[in-house]
Amino acid sequence: MIQLNNIHKSYNLKTNPLHVLKGINLSIEEGEMVAIMGASGSGKSTLLNILGMLDEADSGTYTLDDTPIVQLSETKAAQYRNKFLGFVFQSFNLISYKTALENVSLPLYYQKIPRKERLIKAKENLDKVGLGERIDHVPSELSGGEKQRVAIARALASEPKVLLADEPTGALDTKTSYDLMALIQEINEQGKTMVVITHEHDIANMCKRIVHLRDGVIVEDKKIKQVKAKDHVE
Ligand code: ADP
Ligand code: MG
């Protein structure tokens, strides 16, 4: 599903270069659930931005679902992002004056999906994340865990091949984090490929594989026995 080959990325190339990714090789198969771990500043978000086509590597190759991702125009990159990728962020990134239903259906509007179909899809995905009863609430009327569920529903509504999550539990307390991981595991069990950035070991252990970044290099990449989040809630 994902192949990164010798990816390098620096910031401030012209002024004061900071070499952040130093030859990343990473291959992720369909249906995997991979944690990307590493200390703050190790390059996790930079890597995710490249995976998410929000930024481009300086060198190396990236192939996503057999499609080479190279020097895409803004339009093409946006098309591929919509088709392949869903994003979930630590800070939820919901629109504060829109309801859960509107937040989930908005990306579908930009994909020119007719209104009726948008609303059906948005409702279906809110049901899937357990928020079927909260569709008319605005973010300030939802808890942190619920907001992140809305963000997940929004990401899923476009039916991406891969879900990229940057510290999805970073703003949540432990119990809420485990609840959310139970949902993410369930979505992964239904076949969705997941990449989860975290610096928390308990969250990483709920994935199926841990890739450890240190100073822009992968220092460890191992399959693990997945801890089931469900066993740690209640
Ligand atoms: P992590 O997500 O692991 O904390 P990042 O990928 O965000 O790490 O950052 C890696 C390094 O790159 C840090 O030293 C950070 O300050 C720097 N950095 C990140 N984004 C930029 C940017 N847009 N411009 C310049 N430096 C950046
Ligand atoms: Mg980061």
As given in the structure block, the two tokens for residue 45 are 């978000």
pLDDT for 233 beyond 90: no
Which ligand has an atom closest to residue 166 CA?
Answer: 2
Residues contacting residue 12 through CB under 8 Å, at least 6 positions apart: 18
Q: Tell me, using a 6 A CB cutoff, whether residue 20 lines ligand 1.
A: yes
pLDDT for 221 beyond 90: yes
Q: How many domains does the chain have?
A: 1
Measure the CA–CA gap between 42 and 212, rounded to whole angstroms.
9
Nearest C-alpha to atom 27 of ligand 1 is from which residue? 11
Please say whether the beta carbons of 62 and 162 come within 8 A. Answer: no
Q: Cα torsion for 93, 96, 101, 104, to the nearest 10°? A: -20
Task: Report the chain's mean pLDDT, rounded to a whole number.
Answer: 95
The pLDDT value recorded for residue 74 is: 87
Which ligand has an atom closest to residue 168 CA?
Answer: 2
CA of 37 to the centre of ligand 2 (A): 10
Nearest C-alpha to atom 20 of ligand 1 is from which residue? 46
Among the listed residues 35, 64, 48, 51, the one whose alpha carbon sits nearest the alpha carbon of residue 223 = 35
The pLDDT value recorded for residue 72 is: 85
As given in the structure block, the two tokens for residue 111 are 């994909």
Domain carrying residue 97: 2-232
pLDDT band at 59 (very low <50, low <70, confident <90, very high): very high
Q: Calculate Rg over the CA atoms of the chain.
A: 18
Which ligand has an atom closest to residue 49 CA?
Answer: 1
Nearest C-alpha to atom 22 of ligand 1 is from which residue? 11
The pLDDT value recorded for residue 139 is: 97
Q: Tell me, using a 6 A CB cutoff, whether residue 45 lines ligand 1.
A: yes
Residue at token pair 């509007």:
109
pLDDT for 109 beyond 80: yes
**Interval 61-79 mean pLDDT:** 90
Task: Say which CATH number the domain at 227 has.
Answer: 3.40.50.300
